[in-house]
Structure 1
Amino acid sequence: MLMLLAAFAGLVRGYSGFGFAMILALGLLSVRSPADVIPVVLLLDLLCSAGLWPRALRDAHGPLTMRLVAGMGLAVPLGVVMWAWLPGEWLAPLIASLCLIGGVLVLRQPPTLTVLRNTALRAAFWAGLGSGLATTLASAGGPPLMLYLLRCGLSASALRATAILFFAASSGTALAAMGLSGLVGPTHLHLAATLLLPALVGNLLGQWLHARWEVCSLHRLVGALLVGLSAISLWSSQAKP
């Protein structure tokens, strides 16, 4: 079941450029603690996106990506400190709640503009900071970043590529910070190794579909998935004694 979940999350990521970490985290939380889940999800997110980097480097909006990454760099150390400090029983409902709110906001997102706004470019640092903090705390950086990018007026290819590069940078930075803090160990590496192959297969299938099948409202599809999965996870965490 966990392998199917990893393959499905990889499929969504390969097609849309985001959603892998949130979908996988929400599924794994049903059987593992947040302390086990977040480092594994970040590691798989980084490894599975590697095949997307060459094209993303070509298509991404450079100035926007750099400002986003700068904000993320400030957020990650703060997020790691908070992640290590928060009680474990708080993290599962926090993750589910952030993903639920993010999914609802993604569903409410108006149609994409066609011209990059200067005001949106100036706000990139703060968008990167918020998304980086959500990524480190709960693997939930997708909704805040996508809400921001969908308002920037980027083309579909530039939006997807910018998201791919940002999530690669944020996952790698957060994972490195957790490793230095002693929050990553053999248990995480073993689980990640178990799920890596199905995640990669799903990712490759998603890339194949992306080149051949266009969905008009992709962000609505991913938003609906996030709302459904996070609602189930939140209900499950509240139902536990």
Structure 2
Amino acid sequence: MWIWAAFAGVVRGYSGFGFAMLLALGLLATHPPAVAIPVTLLLDLICSVSLWQGAARHFHRRIGALLIVGMLLAIPLGSLLLSRIPSSWMALVVGLLCLVGGGLVLLQAPQAEAPNMTGRLALPAGFVAGLAMSLASAGGPPLMLYLLRSGLPAVRLRATAIVFFAVCSGWALLGLWWMGSFGSEHLQLAAVLLLPALAGNLAGQWLHRHWHGFPLRNGIGVLLVLMSGWILLTSLARLNA
């Protein structure tokens, strides 16, 4: 699990997204969703700290603000559902969201940069991403699907995603804590995975600055489809056992 946390950190440091979903899928192999999702959100927030300063310079204020407002509206609903839905069914939800999201990421082509970006559909896109993030740490695909069609330059797209997920993870954790779904068990597991996740994140940032030859979007999409398919199969096997 240490290696997987480090790998998820590399992906996040390089692309600005993907950490939460990848780590959640890995943790679900050995932990129930009620443990895996809060731990993922906490590590996602901590590992993004080193990205905040650079992201703040390129964050698109209008689109980013609308995305965050939509997310803030969705998080309470997601936190409530996470505390109420049985873990066996939540694993299916996680797998299904990740499978659909990974497929859409692969199919969605980036749109050319647009000079006048109005932020149309940013509010509902933020709501969907926030709900998926709080329910299954799967906010990456819906957010990136919107951003890839927004016309934002790559540097602003990455920065907007970083700020969005930092706010989203923090707000979701507050909601889980308020619902009594976050405690010492989550902190202990997060402490075990923190150092490899941070190391991977720093390595990913270094790659982002020095190497741009890898089609990371396609790689993440393939990985999400394969892993989410595996999660769905194992979850269905447990339900039928």
So what's the TM-score if we normalise by structure 2? 0.96
Letter in 1 for 2:107: R
Distance 1:117 1:222 in 2: 29
Distance 1:74 1:65 in 2: 14
- Look up the match of 1:184: 182
Distance 1:8 1:116 in 2: 35
Question: Map of 1:27-66 to 2, 5 A cutoff?
Answer: 27-66=26-65
Q: What SS is found at the alignment partner of 1:122?
A: coil
Distance 1:215 1:178 in 2: 39
Residue 167 of structure 2 is aligned with which of 166, 169, 177?
169
Structure 1 residue 83: Cα displacement:
1.2
Q: Which runs of 5+ in 1 are unaligned?
A: none
Structure 1 residue 118: Cα displacement:
4.3
Q: Which runs of 5+ in 2 are unaligned?
A: none
Mark the CA change 1:236 to 1:222 in structure 2 (over 3 Å): closer, same or farther.
same
Letter in 2 for 1:100: L
Q: Do 1:135 and 1:170's aligned partners in 2 also have CA atoms closer than 8 Å?
A: yes
Q: Do 2:117 and 2:151's aligned partners in 1 also have CA atoms closer than 8 Å?
A: no
* Matched-pair identity in %: 54
Runs (4+) of structure 1 exceeding 3 A deviation are 116-119
Q: What SS is found at the alignment partner of 1:182?
A: coil
The count of residues paired between Structure 1 and Structure 2 equals 239
Q: Do 1:14 and 1:204's aligned partners in 2 also have CA atoms closer than 8 Å?
A: yes
Question: Map of 1:173-212 to 2, 5 A cutoff?
Answer: 173-212=171-210
Mark the CA change 1:169 to 1:160 in structure 2 (over 3 Å): closer, same or farther.
same
Structure 1 residue 122: Cα displacement:
2.3
- Look up the match of 1:217: 215
Distance 2:50 2:25 in 1: 24
RMSD: 1.1
Letter in 2 for 1:19: G
Question: Map of 1:105-144 to 2, 5 A cutoff?
Answer: 105-115=104-114, 118=117, 121-144=119-142
